[in-house]
Structure 1
Amino acid sequence: MSKDGPITFAVMLGSLRKASFNGIVARALPGLAPADVTIQPLASVGALPIYDADIQAEGFPAEVTAMADAVRAADGVIIISPEYNYSIPGGLKNAIDWLSRLPNQPFAGKPIAIQTASMSPLGGVRCQYHLRQSMVFLDARILNKPEVIIGAVHTKVDAATDTLTDETTRGIIKAQLENFAAYARRHHG
């Protein structure tokens, strides 16, 4: 089923650091999105307790159900993350683990776009690989291209003004958002 009209994307940020380069990228998205796309940040993944089946047995924490509801309500989710130790940062993985355990699992059938940024030249490619594995297991609909992998991100942002300054990177993100909007409309359901 296809969707016409405005759409909304939720942004799940994998970094907790206040001055995060990935946070700068995330905050740049509304200005790079097509006119009919609204981009809203999800609550911080750091707001969720560490996943524990004993806590789950007592009932899902309100922070988990609120994030799940926001994911379900969005037409798609953009995951933006650094790479930690060749993989997914712990807070982001924890949020995915919590959301994956809910009934009416919120990632199932949900269009997902991934963006990573790192100070390394590789830009978080291993994090992207691992996120894609998790999302395949959760039956999400992952946008494959164009990929947003931002290497040497510290040279492409101005941390003092909280601005993504590199025009090539801005263009790649804009292209991904345009493609993701079309993808989300095709896979709306």
Structure 2
Amino acid sequence: MTLKLVGLVGNNAPISYNRTLLTYMQTHFAGDAEISLAEIKELPLFNEADLAEVPASVQALSDQLAAADGIIIATPEYDHAIPAALKSAIEWLSTATHPFTTKPVMIVGASLGIQGTARAQDNLRQILNSPGVNAFVLPGYEFLLNTAKAQFDAEGQLTNDKTVTFLEECFSHYLKFVTDNLTDLKLVRN
């Protein structure tokens, strides 16, 4: 069985190293899983007053995430946290539709800075563990890509062999995490 994963681009910027990272993963791990990309740039800003009618863009994203075996979220770090656009998207999804519930999630991140996305990833883990979201977040194996502009070549390929090896290690653990989750859910349903 080929695992079906969604790579969620965690910002709404037209040029994003996090999108580049997910695109790299989509190609690099094509033999291990089918990874489709999802964007948040078309989602409206979350507003509780709008819950009576879920926007079509929110519903479409929710459906894509719900149909996946697992989700990979690539987040940049803005002011020591995740971008407001990603927080807004999660607020929509945790209030209106709940596609993260018991879904195995891997967090990755690319940043222009030297510290990578360590604080944003901690922030995102906290959000994903909150009531209404209830995601199963891969423990450990944090992939933090710092100085992202220098890490990719002109074709969007990672250039550092040690970085690629570590990403492969993290992804291997994530695949096991997803497979174990699917087995556990199957046992619960039977």
The structure 1 residue matched to 2:112, chosen from 113, 119, 122, is: 119
Q: Is the 8 A contact 1:16 1:46 kept in 2?
A: yes
Structure 2: which 5+ residue stretches go unaligned?
186-190
RMSD (CA atoms): 1.4
Which amino acid counterpart does residue 56 of structure 1 have in structure 2?
L
The answer for the alignment partner of 1:150 in structure 2 is 145
How many residue pairs match? The answer is: 181
Amino acid at match of 1:84: Y
Matches within 5 A, 1:99-118: 99-103=93-97, 105-118=98-111
Q: Separation in 2 of the partners of 1:85 and 1:54?
A: 28
TM-score by length of 2: 0.90
* 1:173 matches 2:164: no
**Is 2:143–2:167's contact at 8 Å kept on the other side of the alignment?**
yes
Indicate conservation of the 8 Å contact 1:76/1:111, yes or no.
yes
Identity of aligned residues (%): 29
Larger relative CO (CA 8 A, sep 6+): 1 or 2?
1
Structure 1 length-normalised TM: 0.90
What are the ranges of 5 or more consecutive residues in structure 1 without an aligned counterpart?
A: none
Residue in structure 1 matched with residue 70 of structure 2 by the alignment: 76
C-alpha distance in 1 between matches for 2:12 and 2:168: 24
Measured against aligned partners, the alpha-carbon deviations of 1:67-110 in whole angstroms (never above 9, x if no partner) come to 1111110000000011001101011111101000124x111100
Asked if 1:19 is matched to 2:15, the reply is: yes
Aligned mate of 2:136, from 122, 128, 141:
141
SS at match of 2:78: coil
Residue 166 (structure 1) shift: 2.1
Report the Cα distance in structure 2 between the residues aligned to 1:17 and 1:29, rounded to whole angstroms: 19
